[in-house]
């Protein structure tokens, strides 16, 4: 049986009910594809696309703002066969996860960033799009009012939500992972976090798939997604994730991780105050945080 697990970011979740509704809908979208014999790659991309289109999560239309008040997005996708594609600091696209997939499927590159990524998206038919929420403008104004005019003041004081992501296993035992984010509030323009970094924010093998969320710089230092995926080669997904979270906690890294293994076991954990997540498991049951 297919399996899908999704996260909506690790940090402080103010509107848990809205997050649950969003996670539930994204799960249903991904599960419908898997349950009809579709590919894991399609399932994770469509689930994340829904979350990008929603304004509930910190990605796509709901993204946080840079210090300059602009929207810069990161996204990545990877499948168990080792194929990978990502975009970083891309502007004016609605669904960076779909652009990342195009990088994987239509180019020999792994990662495109900034203006180059944006130019590629136009060539692939993605229309110009930018949505800046009033609530995000207010958050940035409060951020600056507190004197946060430099990069990374006291992180604990303002880390709210991070990446969204999905990991799926299909009927052909293929695994796919997708991640998308608006980054951290008040980041410097041009900053790229863990989401589009191979092995940091996402990683997939024939035996496992892992997606991470949280403080991107520290997740990159830990190479967290690959660390957990490697553990999954010998452990069930939950034990592998728990070991990864324990290691992150020892190093005071704010993060969350979701994953699954080839047998369809799921795993999740976080070092932050909370993380929104949900899955539909091997028996078709749904569980939400």
In a domain, 281, yes or no: no
Q: How confident is the model at residue 150 (pLDDT cuts 50, 70, 90)?
A: low
Quote the mean pLDDT of the chain: 94
pLDDT for residue 206 is more than 60: yes
pLDDT tier for residue 282 given thresholds of 50, 70 and 90 = confident
Whether 282 is in a domain gets the answer no
Residue 157 has pLDDT above 50, yes or no: no
Whether 163 sits among the annotated catalytic residues: the reply is yes
Does some domain include residue 286? Answer: no
- Asked whether the beta carbons of 288 and 36 are under 8 A apart, the reply is no
- pLDDT tens digits, one per residue of 208-267: 999 999 999 999 999 999 999 999 989 999 999 999 999 999 999 999 999 999 999 999
Determine the structural domain holding residue 69 and report its residue range: 3-148+156-181+190-274
CA distance 127 to 141: 29
Tokens of 172: 């052909």
Confidence of residue 57 (pLDDT cuts 50, 70, 90): very high
| Alpha-carbon dihedral sign for residues 187, 191, 192, 193 | negative
Q: Is the pLDDT of residue 79 over 60?
A: yes
pTM, full prediction: 0.95
Which residue among 64, 66, 163, 272 is the active-site one?
163
DSSP string, 212-266: EEE-HHHHHHHTHHHHHHHHHTTS-HHHHHHHHHHHHHHTT--EEEEEEETTS-E
Give the count of domains, the chain.
1
User: What is the mean predicted confidence (pLDDT) over 76-87?
Assistant: 98
Token pair listed for 218:
């520290």
Strands 274-280 vs 266-270: parallel, antiparallel or unpaired: unpaired
In a domain, 261, yes or no: yes
Q: What is the CATH number of the domain that holds 12?
A: 3.60.20.30
Question: Would you say residue 158 has pLDDT above 50?
Answer: no
pLDDT of res. 156? 46
Tell me whether residue 246 is exposed, middle or buried, using C-beta atoms within 10 angstroms of its C-beta: 0 to 12, 13 to 18, 19 or more. exposed
């Amino acid at each position: 049986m297919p399996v899908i697990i999704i996260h909506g970011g690790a940090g402080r979740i103010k509107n848990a009910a809205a997050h649950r509704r969003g996670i539930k809908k994204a799960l249903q979208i991904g599960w419908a594809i898997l349950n009809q014999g579709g590919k894991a790659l399609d399932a994770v991309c469509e689930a994340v696309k829904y979350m990008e289109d929603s304004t509930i999560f910190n990605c796509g239309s709901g993204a946080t703002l840079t210090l300059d008040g602009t929207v810069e997005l990161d996204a990545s996708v990877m499948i168990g066969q080792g194929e990978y594609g990502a975009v970083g600091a891309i502007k004016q696209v609605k669904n960076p996860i779909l652009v990342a997939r195009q990088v994987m499927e239509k180019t020999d590159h792994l990662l495109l960033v900034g203006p180059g990524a944006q130019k590629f998206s136009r060539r692939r038919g993605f229309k110009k799009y930018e949505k800046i929420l009033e609530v995000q403008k207010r958050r940035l104004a409060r951020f600056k009012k507190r004197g946060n005019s430099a990069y990374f003041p006291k992180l604990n004081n303002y880390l709210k939500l991070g990446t969204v992501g999905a990991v799926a296993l299909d009927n052909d035992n293929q695994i796919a992972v997708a991640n998308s984010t608006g980054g951290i509030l008040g980041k410097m323009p041009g900053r790229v976090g863990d989401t589009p970094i191979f092995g940091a924010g996402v990683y997939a093998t024939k035996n496992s798939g892992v997606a991470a969320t949280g403080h991107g710089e520290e997740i990159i230092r830990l190479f967290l997604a690959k660390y957990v995926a490697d553990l999954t080669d010998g452990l069930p997904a939950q034990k592998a994730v728990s070991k990864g979270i324990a290691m992150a906690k020892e190093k005071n890294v704010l993060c969350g991780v979701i994953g699954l293994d080839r047998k369809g076991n799921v795993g999740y954990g976080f070092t932050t105050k909370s993380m929104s997540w949900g899955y539909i498991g091997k028996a078709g049951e749904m569980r939400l945080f």
